[in-house]
Amino acid sequence: QYRCHPVISAIANKLFYDSQLKDGVTSEERSPIVDFAATLCFYNVSRGQEKHGQDGSYYNEEEAKFVVFMIDRLLEAGVEPAQIGVITLYKSQLRTITTHLAASKLTVVCLQISTVDAFQGGEKDVVLLSCVRTKRVGFIDCDRRTNVALTRAKRHLLIIGSLRMLSSNAVWGNVIQHCRGKSTRNSNTYSE
């Protein structure tokens, strides 16, 4: 694989490729572009709650606010909007993030916010992955979608979700364990 930093590709390699995937890029070629976030990081949004949108899809206000907070930090650190991608598995979350981003007045032309299905084939230097769910894993317990979501980032994969809920799932539990070896942070330290 020639997209992801080896730390990022190692997750999908273990979970979906039986450790057969070979890295065609080095850690140096995919070095971090911000110093406040590890190459792979999980942010626990413990106060967030999943809610049903009008379309039957799910959204999580606290995660959406945290995504906008992280976008602001990335932009302040000099990351260009075109280098940032936001992935979620739910259309209602996409709309919620877009609404919060518009309200923030951040200049984000060229910043891509998509569902995981729309992001397939895409790549960004920094990917923020909003997992949304807090009660049941649901839609994110699909290997194909999980694989796509975890392999779009070149330099930073910042996973945002409920540590308690995701840890209870076999696949996501492995993702969390991999993140623990790298960096797991509690998002309750951010301020609105």
Q: Rounded to the nearest 5 degrees, what angle is found at the Cα of 34, between the Cα atoms of 115 and 12?
A: 45
Report pLDDT digits (tens) over 108-135: 888 999 999 999 889 999 999 999 999 9
Report pLDDT digits (tens) over 1-37: 889 999 999 999 999 998 888 999 998 999 999 988 8
pLDDT band at residue 179 using 50, 70 and 90 as cut-offs: confident
pLDDT at site 192: 33
pLDDT at site 188: 40
In 155-184, which positions are buried (b, 16+ CB within 10 angstroms) versus exposed (e)? bbbbbbbbbebbbebebbeebbebbeebeb
Quick one: 28 exposed, middle or buried, by C-beta within 10 A (0-12, 13-18, 19+)?
A: exposed
Domain positions in the chain: 6-190
Report pLDDT digits (tens) over 158-178: 999 999 999 999 899 999 888
Cα 16 to Cα 1, 10, 21, 134, distances in angstroms: 13, 10, 9, 24
Task: Pick one of 1.10.150.120, 2.40.280.10, 3.30.70.260, 3.40.50.300 as the CATH number of 6-190.
Answer: 3.40.50.300
- pTM summary value: 0.91
pLDDT band at residue 185 using 50, 70 and 90 as cut-offs: low
Instruction: At 141, give phi and psi (nearest 5°).
Output: -95, 40
Report pLDDT digits (tens) over 40-91: 999 999 889 999 988 989 999 999 999 999 999 999 999 999 999 999 999 9
Q: How many angstroms separate the CA atoms of 153 and 65, rounded?
A: 21
pLDDT at site 104: 92
